[in-house]
Structure 1
Amino acid sequence: MATAGEDERTEELETLQSIYPELVIDAPFAAHIDLPVAPTVPLPVSFEPIQEVHRIAYLPPLRLHLALPADYPAEAPPKVKLSTSLSWLPPDTVEKLEKEAHALWEEYSGGQVLFAYVSYLQEAAETAFGLSELTLLDSVQNELLQYSKRMKRELFDKETFDCEVCLEPKKGSVCYRMERCNHVFCVQCLQDYLNNCIEEGDVNNVKCMSTDCGKTMPNGKKKERLLSPKELLRIPLPLQAVERYAKIKRKKKIEADPTIIYCPRSWCQGAMRTDKYPKIKDVREMDDSDSEPEEPVEPPSDKQPTVSGLEKRMVGVAGMDRLAVCEDCTLAFCKVCLASWHGDFVRCEPRDKNQLTEEDQASLNYIMRNTSPCPTCSVPCQKSYGCNHMTCFQCKSHFCYLCGAWLPPENPYGHFSNPRNKGCFNRLMDLVEGDMGEGEVQFGGARGAEQMADFWEQEAMRIQNELNAQDS
């Protein structure tokens, strides 16, 4: 027949198991339980000998072994033993936590303390047991990081979130949490939005979709970080789409940099090699630093030291490197005269920047005649359909497609209802089918001037042809 002490110990263990179903009773008066360790603030952990610091949110659980002696609880405290896999918890911290069981038993004056002790350990785990940082051997790094990543995903999968786009409650298993800002969206909404941005070449909008995201700058504008190729692949997006994103992003940076010289071969036109914009090899290895929004590149200063005479013709001798190598066809050429590389001590003159090839001139003529420039950034825009209130794809400025005037974002349509704007009054829906959908339409602004110049050029040619016909 069980004694009163045995009944009391059995009852306490069974009560504890009802509160913590994960408690395993190993013997009549012995048990163990694994307590999760998820600090409220991720714990900085460095690994010797490299000393690289990682902030770890989930650490391997703390295993508590309990043994209740015959004279517990009246005459003796419970026997406890703490351990962790990978031995990440320092021995002195383990010893301090074990001694707390005896201190609690004394505080309770010989009462039952198992629940109080487990609660104490759980609270201590939230602060990483008082540790401000941790240094471990490099041999446990991979296992520790993989464990934290796995636990984070498992707990996330079990939660329910309201997608900030479709506003429907979704299980974490079909959602994705943004790495920088922690906003949560369902994977389907993320994929639809990001794939569409990349397909249309709108790479500056490959970012978190939350309106609250981004750092507000002193000028009132928000600076938002673009998503890295690595994160896009984790969402996941197709590898082909991520490669397109990275290539377009790099191309935009290169085109905006006035210091980049292009290959003089007409069939190549590749950019020069530069460490500033390294050629993309594998997007799976591209980190955040490769995908930040591009900052405006300052053009070469007009206050550069001047050279003349022999010095001007010997550019490169005094430390100014003229050698460039095409990243596509590997042609070595001179940055100054664009001829094949001739060495540092050969005289050469800069190529006339106003001199255009026949192909370049034809392209420029088409752009001038068939596009309307943005009044803010001058990027050429061509409308395929819709009204004449345009939003620049590049800088998001609002402008009129007919006359090129800047429009106030708060009331862009007032421009078309104001009788003073004679060229655009009541013409909001002109060219509703796009430039190619309707016949000749009179434009204003820079495009209108080009249109008039073209008209008078054609008129002069017509008159000249008539005169020539009369003379003959």
Structure 2
Amino acid sequence: MQFWEITTNMEDREQQREELLVMDSIFGHDGLFTSDDKQMSGMISVSPELQRPLLVKPPEPDKEPLSVSALPPICIEFTLPEQYPLEAPPTNRVTCSWLTPTQMLKIWRHLVTLWEQGQGNTVLYEYTEFLRNDSIAFLGLEHELDVSFFVDRARTAAAAAAAGPPSPAAGSSPPRSLNRRASVEQLRARYRLTLPASASVHRLLETHQRQAEAAEFGRRRFPCKVCGEERAGSDCVRLTRCGHVYCRDCLTAYYTVLIRDGEVQNLRCPEDQCPEQATPKEVRDLVGDDLFERYDTILLRTSLSAMTDVVTCPRAHCQKPVVLDPGDSLGRCAHCDHTFCAICQNAYHGNNPCAVKSAERLELVRQYRMAGAGERADLERRYGRRQLQRLVEEVDSAAWMSDHSERCPRCRTPIEKIDGCNKMSCTKCGTLFCWLCNARLPRENPYTHFNVPGSKCFNQLFAGVVDGALLDEELGALAFDELGEEEDLPMGFFL
């Protein structure tokens, strides 16, 4: 009798090892089955297959139901006793993040029934097929999944924590909530059930649905709407707000150019007539952290610039937003204590008009001349009417001098030529220079500059002079300078 029992146990163990090996070869590569042949234990982790999308009741009644086409796995942790499979079923622990204790208990009992119906045969494969194909119908969840149990459980726990430990009177029975909790703990201990976290079941189902959709997307192939090439889903991006699909390379290049050009408010879908913008998470995933920081900074500045009562601290190391008092141009940064004028971004100057930088004068005068009545009034309030009028006069004067004068090559004083030859003398420093090429002329004989053959000023001393009397006067002065005395020039003499 003892020999027969030992032989039977050895046969059982051999059959168990063979079953674990077969299960691992079928389901191990997908992560659905893991085992330890030394302890004769393992885990089956299978997601039920849904024939149609399942509606999940939301935690709050005013929200829309969640539609899921994939569910997180139901797990069975098993240990094979020595008498399995002939005389004893596996010892099972059922775990699931979205089933109630009652539902898990039904599954646990059905696992025992499957072994009993097998009349001593191995049942791990039947467990797997049951979880995959029949568990949803077995629990009556073909159309709707109710997770209100977990919400009620979380609220009960929160209320109990807020109220503190109860102190019942002598001889009184414990509260109903405590009785219910004790019964749940008894179920857990008796049937080896593992209860899920109570407050996040709905979020878990929603997250799992997104992950399942992403996995399915990665297995498919899509034509890129930019380059036209067909790419694997793992190399593509589906924009969340509109659902259009592009290859990652094209979308990255497109958004990179826009961000570098400062077009951060134009990161929309490349599809024609599609107004949807990319989400910040999609932008970060595509362009990386460094370029996303530029995108985020420019977007923040653009948004703040649209607010009339918010400006940015002008200090380069600060750049924090500053809220202004209504009608006041005084900005005081709470981060670095800098006070500044919110209009010109310079140090605060009280009621004095804002100073105008030299590089901005031409543009400011152009704006002032082209502005309407309202815009002109805003500019006068900001810079002062007298200052703007003076700027207009200075710009007009500078433009006239630029067209009608040449600067001295030594002291840069503007020199106007009214008449006479092209040998000029600076009224400030006395430097002699050529009106045509601005070259400095030697004081001992400045006219030789105009007698060098091949130069652009050769024979151009009187270029532009049309008055004959003035020409004769200049010729006479030239002759006197070169001969040292007044005498008649011979016929045919030329410079």
Q: If the length of structure 1 is used for normalisation, what is the TM-score?
A: 0.42
Which has a greater percent of helix? 2
* TM-score, normalising length: structure 2: 0.41
